[in-house]
Amino acid sequence: MGVTEDMADDLAQDVIKYIDATGDEEIVSDVIKLLGATSQTAEEAFLTSLRVRRANMKARALLMERARKFQQANSPGAADQE
């Protein structure tokens, strides 16, 4: 990645960590406003990174849930539980 994308991705990771710790989703809007006022390129790179990372997190959670259900359904004794 280029400098812009690297910096935007680092910021997106920090914002996600902050949201996870605080539950403060408003930080996204505040960061977007600041970046948009100073660099549209940085704003777009940040939004892209944030969206990609959040989508990836949701997809991984779905995959893990499906794997957990599969494992439970196919574990020894699963037929006895029905």
pLDDT of 80 above 80? no
What domain count does the chain have? 1
Residue 81 lies in a domain: no
Q: What is the mean pLDDT of residues 37-43?
A: 96
Q: What is the mean pLDDT of residues 37-60?
A: 97
Residue 77 lies in a domain: no
Q: Which of these, 38, 56, 21, 19, lies nearest to 7 by C-alpha position?
A: 38
pTM of this structure: 0.82
Residue 12 lies in a domain: yes
Residue 8 lies in a domain: yes
List, in order, residues 6 or more apart from 8 with CB less than 8 Å away: 42, 45, 46, 48, 49
Residue 38 lies in a domain: yes
Residue 80 lies in a domain: no
Residue 78 lies in a domain: no
Q: Print the domain residue range for 28.
A: 3-72
- Give the C-alpha separation, 48 to 2, whole Å: 14
Taking CA atoms, 25 is separated from 18, 47, 79, in Å, by 9, 14, 44
User: What is the reported pLDDT for 1?
Assistant: 73
Residue 62 lies in a domain: yes
- Give the C-alpha separation, 64 to 66, whole Å: 5
pLDDT of 29 above 90? yes
pLDDT of 81 above 90? no
